Amino acid sequence: MSKIKILFQVLNVIFIILYVYPGSILGYFIYRDFSIQPQITRDFLVSSNHVYAFLLLSLIGLIAYYKSSKEIIFNYLILISIILEVLHLVIPNRSFQYSDLFGNIIGVLLSILLISIFKFWRKK
């Protein structure tokens, strides 16, 4: 297994832990408070943190699996972005928010756009 695939798998596990933990693990490490969520940049119409997180995860996933199974990885990334946010409906101290869900999906779609642009430029 290549290093990029291992990195993608490790990031998947980290994302799942961060998403299903009933509180903010990152908030605890930064502010010593599980109830505070660190904010990278201000939100616009969607959650910027979620866009950045899923952009990173998706770029690494698409690079790792693009040649072998791009449709499967695309479907996986979309599904995991939806499932992880919907789980917040049942996890204590977490809340489902449409802005987070759309941020997740936009992060995945942006990564697909960036990979497509890169592949297009590479062909020229």
pLDDT of res. 100: 93
- Give residue limits of the domains in the chain: 3-123
Q: What are the per-10-residue average pLDDT scores of the chain (124 residues)?
A: 91 92 83 78 84 95 85 93 94 90 96 91 81
- pLDDT attached to residue 1: 66
**Count of positions (residues) in the chain:** 124
